[in-house]
Chains A and B, each alone.
Chain A
Amino acid sequence: MKTLGIARCRGMGRLRKNAPACLFGFCDLWETLPPRPVQWHLFSQLTLTKILKILFISILLAAATTAPAHPVAFDGASQLMFGTVGSVQTLEFYRSYSARAAVGLHAMRFDGEEDEIFTGLQHNWLLKRWNLPSAQANVYAGVGAGLAGEVGQGASPAGIGFFRADYETRRVYTAIDAKWVESADVSRGVFSASAGIAPYEAEFDQLNTWLILQVEHVTGMEDKLDIIPKVRFFKGPYFLELGSTLRGKPVVNFMIHF
């Protein structure tokens, strides 16, 4: 019965994806449980606090995919981003040590036939910014190193790289993103292009609303191309995106600066 958790994690398709302890490879939580019938595991062995912790982590990570890309914020800022877009989930935390550079942690999960995970350290650069009277344009790039592998199958050294360019006025938004993860077992690329409009010009202290259409392709996935209509809201240091792929997969992105 020691292997019960593994069997559930590796062998039960949708159940695996929905099992909170299995998100982002936390299957160890299941493996360490003492031998009991399946239905006893969570409710008899875990305290309420542990269940709440797992639920909190699950909600956080279930909300995670290609997070809203804001690789470098202002000097001294910390930024937490997580999101879920189609088959890719992302969790990122960076500290900007200048207005042009940030360093932090990056975790990604690709839900495919074999779920894959990358976790590592990453450095981001704002390569170029154009501060125009009524617009701003940016070019970002970043590289990182960590571990990647199939869930429950061990991990090997991995590298990650990304490139992003965006242009924004108070009414128009456009962006292109490319991200690569490479290791002995994992080779994924995430490519996206976005365009959006703001139905009104929000002031600094008002709720900002954007209507955005994103096209995303993840190499090696069954879905060749995801078309994603979404709504973006932000106010103060809080940022939220809600949407869905045309195939019905939910899109949720959250970001905060502090």
Chain B
Amino acid sequence: MKMLSAISLLALSATLALAASDRVVTVKTTVNGMVCSFCAQGILAHFKKHPAVSNMHVDLTRRLVLLEERKGKSITDEEITDYIKKAGFEPVKVERLKESFDQAKAG
């Protein structure tokens, strides 16, 4: 009986983990210095090469870079801050949102 419970628990954990990894995550990064779209092209250039990023949006008014992760893939906070610094800007805060990419984009 104990054996059966352990197997059930293991199966449940695996299912939950799989579901979590399949979830599409929206990542919101607040960026300082992003006042010119021509100068911010580097942000687009860097993130569009990352295999985990399926969609991105730069919002100059709210000073945000929004990323949508591909199902089952992830981009780390370190990669995000590194890319933004390589583009010449200052990342302030990286947050992973529960809302969808479109909801976050709409504000």
Q: Which chain A residue shows the least CB distance to B31? A: A131
Known: A135-B35, A205-B37, A234-B38. A74 touches B59 (CB 8 A): no
On whether the beta carbons of A75 and B60 are closer than 8 Å, the reply is: no
Residues of B20-45 contacting chain A, CB below 8 A: 32-43, 45
Contacts of B90 in A (CB 8 A): 131
Interface flags for B63-91 (1: CB within 8 Å of A; 0: not) read 10000000000000000000001111110
Q: With a CB–CB cut-off of 8 A, which chain A residues contact B42?
A: 73-77, 99, 257
A170 to B90, CA, bound (A): 17
Q: Please indicate the chain A residues that have their CB under 8 angstroms from the CB of B87 in the complex.
A: 74-75, 99
Is A201 at the interface (CB under 8 A from chain B)? yes
- Asked if B35 and A136 make an inter-chain contact with CB atoms under 8 angstroms apart, the answer reads yes
Q: How far is the CA of A76 from the CA of B87 in the complex (A)?
A: 9
Q: Are B32 and A132 in contact (CB under 8 A)?
A: yes
Q: How many residues of A contact B (CB 8 A)?
A: 33
- Taking A74-B86, A77-B42 as contacts, is the C-beta distance between A201 and B33 under 8 angstroms? no
Question: Which among B34, B41, B58 has the greatest number of chain A C-beta atoms within 10 A?
Answer: B41
For residue A204, which residues in chain B have a CB less than 8 angstroms away from its CB?
37, 40, 57-60
Which chain B residues border A206 with CB–CB below 8 Å?
A: 37
Bound Cα distance A3, B4 (Å): 100
Q: Does A58 contact B (CB under 8 A)?
A: no
Query: How many chain B residues have a CB neighbour from A under 8 Å?
Result: 26
Are A170's CB and B60's CB within 8 A? yes
Taking CB atoms, residues of chain A closer than 8 Å to B39 are 70, 73, 136
Which residues on A are within 8 Å of B, measured CB to CB?
Answer: 70, 73-77, 98-99, 126, 129-136, 168-170, 201-206, 208, 234-237, 239, 257
Pick 9 A–B contacts, CB within 8 A, sort by A: A73-B41, A74-B41, A74-B42, A74-B87, A98-B86, A136-B39, A202-B60, A204-B37, A234-B37
20 further interface pairs, Cβ-Cβ under 8 Å (given A75-B46, A234-B37, A237-B38): A73-B41, A75-B42, A76-B42, A99-B88, A131-B33, A131-B89, A133-B63, A134-B35, A134-B63, A135-B33, A136-B34, A136-B39, A170-B35, A201-B60, A203-B37, A205-B58, A235-B37, A239-B38, A257-B38, A257-B42
Q: Interface residues, chain B, CB within 8 Å of chain A?
A: 32-43, 45-46, 57-61, 63, 85-90
